[in-house]
Amino acid sequence: MRPGLVVAVCAVVLTFSVAAWPAAAHTQLAHLSVPRTVHGGHAALSAAAMRIGRSVGSPTTGHLIGGMQVEESPYLRIVPSCANSDVRWGLGPLVTMIDRAARQVRRKYPDAVLTVGHLSRPGGGEIDRHASHESGRDADILFYVKNHLGKPVLAEQFVPFRADGTAPTWPGASFDDARNWLLVTALVTDKDARVSHIFVAAPLRARLLAYAARIGAPPAVRHRAAELLMQPRGSLPHDDHFHVRIGCPPGMHECIELPQGKWAKKGPPTHERNRGKANPPPSPRKPFEPLTGKSAASGEPPAAVLAVPRESADSSDAIDDADGDL
């Protein structure tokens, strides 16, 4: 074969290979809003999209540079009560962790759809009626919910749940132990993002850990979940969603791990407005009968399940007293 022909063939093969990989990456991350460039008809991830972004300052006094936006997909949705606000930006590790967790639940439960509330603004900074969410490391994630037939139902807004798994404002709906525990498992075991806190009401924390013990979940995962699941102090109990926070990524020197400063209360979180009489409880798309009987996990779990390492309890108290309404 003539040398010139060899060079031409190699150039064609190399061009195809370079163009084809970004197309695959685009397909995998199609629901994430990131900058793209076009090469040879393919949508390719730009160099800027490969960055994880920068979290500057703390969760309560900070901002976000080069964040990533969460968009809806078949297995992930934005809660309708937050859909009109542009508060769905975060560090790359946070956004991709949420995506991985949603997909992991979906793999086991093909009908599962994760519902996400607020993250941060495109540039971070203050959010009305939130005390944190300023530096791209916080996300509100609604609980998975099911009806009396065990089928998933989607809430239109934040809905509080009791210790027995029922919702006082949504008859017939119940806290989905299986899907919510699988979500927690995915978050606390994620290898690419370091979860530092999962704020949730103490009765729901106890319920999840009791469920994990009942199904024989790995002890290491249960212990890690027990460390990270905590009810905040000095704020609402978080009985209507998980508030997930990741730690500062390695080498991000402008990022400050713990909340900082004292500030005036900003009022209840935005989703709290949905609990008033002006906003009626959500209605399922198809009516269903109220749940009957008690949940198996409605009783008080063993004391061992409720135990929190002393150092974890002390650190969470200090953080949450500073963290206000979260």
Cα gap 94→137, rounded to integer Å? 6
pLDDT score, position 18: 32
Measure the N-to-C terminal CA separation of the chain; round to a whole number of Å: 69
Query: Would you give the distance in Å from CA 121 to the centre of its chain?
Result: 15
Question: Is-contact 206 163, C-beta < 8 A?
Answer: yes
What token pair was written down for 127?
A: 């959010």
Question: Is-contact 70 90, C-beta < 8 A?
Answer: yes
Task: Collapse the DSSP code of 141 into the 3-class scheme (helix H, G, I; strand E, B; otherwise coil) and give the result.
Answer: strand
What string of DSSP letters covers 274-292?
GGSTTSPPP--SS--PPP-
Widest CA span in the chain: 82
Q: What angle, rounded to 10 degrees, do the helices at 202-214 and 177-188 form? A: 90
Q: What is the pLDDT along the chain (326 residues), one digit of tens a residue?
A: 555 544 443 444 333 333 333 333 333 343 444 433 233 333 333 444 446 899 999 999 999 999 999 989 999 999 998 888 899 999 999 999 999 999 999 999 999 999 999 999 999 989 887 889 999 999 999 999 999 999 999 999 999 999 999 999 999 999 999 999 999 999 999 999 999 999 999 999 999 999 999 999 999 999 999 999 999 887 788 999 999 999 999 999 999 998 876 444 444 444 444 443 333 333 333 333 233 333 333 333 333 333 332 223 333 333 433 333 46
Backbone angles phi, psi at 140, to 5 degrees: -95, 125
What token pair was written down for 216?
A: 């024989």
Nearest of 142, 146, 149, 182 to residue 166 by alpha carbon = 146
**244 bridge partner residues:** 139, 198
pLDDT score, position 80: 93
Class of domain 52-323: alpha beta
Q: Where are the alpha helices (DSSP H) in 109-248?
A: 177-188, 202-214, 219-228
pLDDT score, position 27: 34
64 vs 134, 204, 250, 273, 280, CA distance in Å? 7, 31, 16, 26, 35
Cα gap 88→41, rounded to integer Å? 29
User: What are the residue ranges spanned by the domains of the chain?
Assistant: 19-50, 52-323
131 secondary structure, DSSP code: S
116 secondary structure, DSSP code: E
Nearest of 98, 125, 129 to residue 236 by alpha carbon = 129
pTM, two decimal places: 0.71
CA angle, residues 224, 297, 181, in degrees to nearest 5: 35
